[in-house]
Amino acid sequence: MRMNDHPGAQLSRAPGRRRSTRPIWAFAAATLLTLSPAAAAQVVAPQLVWPSIAADFVRSHQLVDIGVDRKLNLYCSGQGTRAVLLDAGGSDWSVIWALVQPVVSTQARVCSYDRAGLGYSDPAKGPRSPIAIVDDLHALIHRAELNTPLVLVGHSLGGFNVKLYAALYPEDVAGLVLVDPAEERAAERSRAFLRNRYGPALAARIELSDQPWIDKLIDHYRECASAARVADLASGSTIYRSCTDPVRPKLGPTIAAERARLQGRYSYQQAQASEIANSVYGPPTPDVAYAALFQPGMLGNRPLIVLTHGIHDSEDRFEAASYQADLFLHRQTARLSTRGAHRIVPGSHHNIEIDAPEAITDAIRNILTAIEQQKSEKEVVE
């Protein structure tokens, strides 16, 4: 199981609890915009978001009316007939892609968006379940008239969102990059693997410790939302630090200041709490549908790349077992496509888009190339 690494996710847990780690370059914007695709492929790992780039991520862009008295913020850059859409992980929004989007924009039309209640998007009524998020995403793609089929990229809970979208709306999707994605039915799917590799006792201790910890985490975020409903959480306060994502130094001070401004608001806290409570870590009600839906090969031959973070504590047998379970689940997910691939990203924690953004931009470039190759092969046959 993979969750955020902000302080709320570090609540005390029983021994054996799967540990969770979640976790630009100094080029002028003009340089980025003039890079050729070949040159973009050679960009060195970014160190810090350039201020002029950061400025574009700390404001609303296209506010798309999705038809339910709500608007979602969509930020698109770059040119091209093929669109790439980025979905952030839990507790995050478009700003998290500031190290990725500028590079991808040199070779495609790339858009990041803010889910309901996060960033600059209007809040929504009702539970923020994966299907509710997918419904919003479907409305966004078509109301904004993004070119389909497109490439979907999702991190963590956002990875599951786009995987579910591809399963429900395959005609809209040409390829996918799943970045350390959250996995549905994780305990059920990895149970036999863990028992065979680590023995029934360790496997049981890991599984039995998971749900109480998750329940405690969900309760914590609900308390955060309740506190924010009374008054915005003051940046720097103890409760703010326990209820929000940490500062991401590589994103720079401009984005850090905007995150501090928005993360204490009730709309953010409520969206965060609802998303986690109704995610794949929440009620098991959708599991029967997920089991029937996510079958090997169900995505056909759509190019798919699944990325897994590389840093883990191999000396801690609980974390080692949890990490191997993650690898097992991600390899299963890669098999949803006949052209699926799985990659481990060395030197990265859960937030690969921060630690190793080049791994994501490389994967996106690979997917775009594979799609064009498929198109050429089809034209030759016809």
Q: Is residue 1 part of a domain?
A: no
Q: Using alpha carbons, select from 344, 373, 345, 340 the residue that is nearest to residue 357.
A: 345
pLDDT of the residue at 377: 78
d(CA 30, CA 60): 21
Q: List the CATH number of the domain containing 291.
A: 3.40.50.1820
Q: Fill in the amino acid letter for 105.
A: S
Establish if 339 belongs to a structural domain. no
Q: Give the phi and the psi of residue 210 in degrees, each rounded to 5.
A: -65, -55
Instruction: Check residue 111 and give its pLDDT.
Output: 98
Q: How many CB atoms lie within 10 A of CB 204?
A: 14
Give the per-residue pLDDT at 79: 94
Does 2 reside within a domain? no
State both tokens at 311: 């840093």
Q: In this predicted structure, what is the pLDDT of residue 68?
A: 87
**pLDDT value of position 76:** 98
Distance CA 295, CA 255 (A): 40
Number of domains in the chain: 1
pLDDT in the model for residue 177: 98
**What is 161-178 written as a DSSP string?**
HHHHHHHH-GGGEEEEEE
pLDDT value, residue 381: 65
Q: What is the pLDDT of residue 33?
A: 30
80: containing domain: 7-334+346-381
Pair of tokens at residue 29: 């914007």
Measured distance CA(281)–CA(182) in Å, rounded: 9
- 294: helix, strand or coil: coil
Give the per-residue pLDDT at 9.
52
Q: List the chain pLDDT tens, one digit each, 382 residues.
A: 445 444 455 443 333 333 333 222 222 222 223 333 333 333 344 468 989 999 999 999 999 999 989 999 999 999 999 999 999 999 999 999 999 999 999 999 999 999 999 999 999 999 999 999 999 999 999 999 999 999 999 999 999 999 999 999 999 999 999 999 999 999 999 999 999 999 999 999 999 988 899 999 999 999 999 999 999 999 989 999 999 989 999 999 999 999 999 999 999 999 999 999 999 999 899 999 999 999 999 999 999 999 999 999 999 999 999 999 999 999 999 999 999 999 999 999 999 999 999 999 999 999 999 999 988 777 666 6
